[in-house]
């Protein structure tokens, strides 16, 4: 067997082992089909932050020692009087054994298959299609001629309600939004969930009639989109984002953005990866592009924040470095700095969101604000911070339960008292945000002509 081929097999098995140990050691889950989608949706700067945040020095040390040991074994095997086939069988078994051992020793309860099939999964992860190629203009029935002039959907990032003072957290992380709540302008919902634990699958269902339960029975990109409904109802749509426009593969979220009449990415194409791209830059963008499309009487704004995306300490300016590690004396020492930086990011996010709400305070406007998903911030384990994991019930609860609130300006409350009263009565109802398209349809007073909807899917159930 040629030397280059032997080296290729060795490296293939080595990378396989590397992926397994990172998944288990840092994230306590096994590799699945969602991992490549997440990786391909990120960009180089985001990847650097990811490595800095989630790959500890201890794991780097384990990886280096493991590969040195395996290299030593490989060299020694070549010196043995065995045929090449037997040598590689031994190496393969060694990798399998060490991978399984890593599951047993590191994970404590996560045991999974170790195989090179993950490479097939990675290689077959494709870039999302251009949604304009599948866009359809849905046939709608108009149920009310009266509809709001301005609707806004602010989508946050990685905001955990367990760290929001609006939901009883012991740190005052939402002082600005609390004032609006006390003034009867902001309504906070208590039992809202996200359909997925990562941004890409959330947006695939949030922005369309697709649901994760559909799986492969229908392609998500062939479903009716919220943008399609809004345009058919006469709304001028704007997408204003402080998230990345590009990834290693084209960004799924950006595909939905391009369906809007105006799409603006406040930072550069790899936005929000540094201090210069803090979320407050989006305030000027919203102000600048507000009221675009003067010929249109109705406007809908999608505003996508960077929020509390890891690395937390890069999500807020120095002036918002309020909470310190010493403020968490009841927590373990290695948790305190992380908790302080995460809470500071929530506090800064509170400031940014309140500023955006204020831009519409004199308009007739209803604004929905929620996070695409939450995070597991030491909720399931004392040593884990990151995207929640499906294989852990505590982590799943932490990542699925999201903050959700509705801001209604005085003018809107005066013109649409029925919507205000119904929403006020639903603060404790269970709802999942992949049904937002139906709530928006109730707000603008339309339904699908073919009647293909269930009123229970809307927060309002007006019609």
Whether 366 is covered by a domain: the verdict is: yes
CATH of the domain at 317: 3.40.720.10
pLDDT by residue (tens digit) across 199-216?
A: 889 999 999 999 999 988
Mean pLDDT, range 47-63, rounded to an integer: 59
In the structure encoding, which two tokens stand for residue 76, read together? Answer: 């020694």
Return the percentage of the chain with pLDDT > 70, whole number.
68
Residues 333 and 258 in one domain: yes
Residues 91 and 233 in one domain: no
Residues 111 and 150 in one domain: no
**Which range, of 17-21, 22-26, 345-349, averages the lowest pLDDT?**
22-26
Residues 321 and 427 in one domain: yes
- The confidence score (pLDDT) of residue 371 equals 97
- The confidence score (pLDDT) of residue 113 equals 40
Whether 463 is covered by a domain: the verdict is: no
pLDDT band at residue 293, thresholds of 50, 70 and 90? low
Residue 384: partners with Cβ closer than 8 Å, 6 or more residues away: 27, 28, 376, 378, 395
Cβ–Cβ under 8 Å, residues 221 and 128 = yes
**Which range, of 209-218, 344-353, 449-458, averages the lowest pLDDT?**
449-458
DSSP-derived secondary structure letter, 152: E
Residues 117 and 147 in one domain: no
Residues 155 and 46 in one domain: no
Domain boundary among 91, 123, 155: 123
Q: Which one is predicted more confidently, 377 or 34?
A: 377
Cβ–Cβ under 8 Å, residues 423 and 447 = no
Residues 118 and 169 in one domain: no
In degrees rounded to 5, what are phi and psi of residue 274?
A: -145, 175
Q: Which one is predicted more confidently, 159 or 46?
A: 159
Whether 320 is covered by a domain: the verdict is: yes
- The confidence score (pLDDT) of residue 112 equals 38
Residue 241 has pLDDT above 90, yes or no: yes
Residue 311 has pLDDT above 90, yes or no: no
Residue 396 has pLDDT above 70, yes or no: yes
Residue 389: which of 177, 197, 160 has the closest Cα?
A: 197
Whether 266 is covered by a domain: the verdict is: yes
Residue 181 has pLDDT above 80, yes or no: yes
Residues 218 and 75 in one domain: no
Range of the domain at 300: 132-457
pLDDT band at residue 186, thresholds of 50, 70 and 90? very high
Whether 75 is covered by a domain: the verdict is: yes
Distances 347 to 159, 193, 267, 302, 380 between C-alpha atoms, Å: 11, 22, 21, 22, 23
> What is d(CA 321, CA 389) in angstroms, rounded to the nearest whole number?
29
Mean pLDDT, range 27-48, rounded to an integer: 55
Domain boundary among 84, 106, 123: 123
DSSP-derived secondary structure letter, 142: E
Residue 249 has pLDDT above 50, yes or no: no
Residue 25: partners with Cβ closer than 8 Å, 6 or more residues away: 59, 62, 102, 106, 107
- The confidence score (pLDDT) of residue 39 equals 55
Cβ–Cβ under 8 Å, residues 372 and 194 = yes
Give me the number of domains the chain comprises.
2
Residues 171 and 256 in one domain: yes
- The confidence score (pLDDT) of residue 379 equals 93
pLDDT band at residue 74, thresholds of 50, 70 and 90? low
Maximal C-alpha separation, the chain: 88
Residues 302 and 374 in one domain: yes
Q: Which one is predicted more confidently, 52 or 152?
A: 152
pLDDT band at residue 42, thresholds of 50, 70 and 90? low
Residues 294 and 337 in one domain: yes
Whether 462 is covered by a domain: the verdict is: no
Domain boundary among 105, 123, 141: 123
**Which range, of 76-85, 227-236, 404-413, 452-461, averages the lowest pLDDT?**
76-85
Which secondary-structure segment (H or E) carries 86? helix 84-102
Q: What is the pLDDT of the chain when averaged over all its residues?
A: 81
Mean pLDDT, range 150-165, rounded to an integer: 96
Residue 114: partners with Cβ closer than 8 Å, 6 or more residues away: 16, 17, 20, 95, 96, 99, 100, 103
pLDDT by residue (tens digit) across 318-342?
A: 999 999 999 999 999 989 999 999 9
- The confidence score (pLDDT) of residue 463 equals 53
SS3 content of the chain, % helix, strand, coil (to 5): 50, 15, 35
What's the N-to-C CA distance of the chain in angstroms?
Answer: 72
pLDDT by residue (tens digit) across 96-138?
A: 565 555 544 444 433 334 444 454 455 555 678 889 999 888 9
- The confidence score (pLDDT) of residue 260 equals 96
Scanning 103-198, the segments in alpha helix (DSSP H) are: 117-123, 175-182
pLDDT by residue (tens digit) across 133-156?
A: 998 889 999 988 899 999 999 999
When mean pLDDT is compared over 60-74, 249-263, 335-349, 443-457, the highest value belongs to 335-349
Whether 369 is covered by a domain: the verdict is: yes
């Amino acid at each position: 067997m040629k030397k280059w081929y032997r080296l290729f097999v060795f490296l293939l098995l080595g990378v396989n082992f590397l992926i397994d140990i990172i998944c288990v050691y840092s994230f306590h889950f096994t590799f699945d089909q969602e991992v490549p989608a997440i990786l391909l949706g990120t960009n180089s700067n985001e990847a650097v932050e990811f490595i800095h945040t989630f790959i500890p020095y201890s794991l780097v040390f384990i990886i280096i020692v493991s590969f040195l040991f395996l290299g030593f074994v490989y060299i020694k095997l070549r010196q043995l009087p065995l045929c090449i086939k037997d040598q590689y069988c031994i190496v393969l078994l060694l990798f399998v054994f060490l991978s399984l051992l890593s599951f047993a020793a590191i994970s404590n309860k996560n045991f999974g298959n170790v195989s090179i099939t993950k490479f097939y999964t990675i290689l077959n992860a494709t870039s999302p299609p251009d949604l304009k190629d599948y866009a359809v203009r849905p046939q709608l029935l108009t149920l009310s001629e009266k509809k709001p002039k301005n609707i806004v959907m602010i989508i946050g990032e990685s905001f955990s309600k367990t760290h929001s003072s609006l939901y009883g957290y012991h740190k005052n992380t939402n002082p600005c939004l609390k004032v609006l709540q006390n003034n009867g302008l902001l309504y906070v919902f208590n039992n809202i969930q996200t359909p997925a634990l990562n941004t890409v699958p959330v947006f695939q269902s949030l922005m369309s009639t697709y649901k994760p339960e559909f799986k492969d029975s229908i392609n998500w990109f062939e479903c009716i989109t919220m943008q399609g409904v809004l345009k058919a109802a006469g709304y001028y749509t704007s997408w204003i984002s402080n998230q990345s426009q590009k990834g290693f593969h084209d960004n799924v979220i950006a595909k939905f953005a391009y369906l809007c009449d105006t799409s603006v990415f406040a930072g550069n194409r790899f936005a929000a990866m540094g201090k210069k791209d803090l979320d407050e830059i989006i305030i000027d963008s919203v102000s600048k592009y507000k009221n675009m499309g003067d010929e249109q009487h109705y406007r809908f704004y999608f505003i996508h924040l960077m929020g509390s995306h890891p690395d937390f300490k890069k999500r807020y300016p120095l002036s918002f470095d309020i909470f310190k590690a010493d403020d968490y004396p009841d927590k373990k020492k290695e948790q305190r700095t992380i908790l302080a930086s995460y809470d500071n990011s929530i506090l800064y996010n509170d400031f940014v969101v309140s500023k955006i709400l204020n831009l519409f305070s004199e308009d007739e406007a209803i604004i929905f604000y929620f996070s695409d998903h939450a995070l597991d911030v030491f909720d399931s384990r004392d040593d884990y911070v990151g995207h929640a994991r499906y294989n852990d019930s505590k982590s799943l609860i932490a990542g699925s339960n999201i903050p959700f609130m509705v801001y209604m300006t005085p003018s809107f409350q005066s013109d649409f008292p029925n919507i205000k009263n119904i929403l006020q009565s639903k603060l404790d109802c269970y709802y999942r945000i992949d049904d937002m398209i139906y709530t928006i349809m109730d707000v603008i007073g339309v339904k699908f002509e073919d009647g293909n909807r269930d009123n229970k899917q809307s927060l309002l159930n007006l019609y």
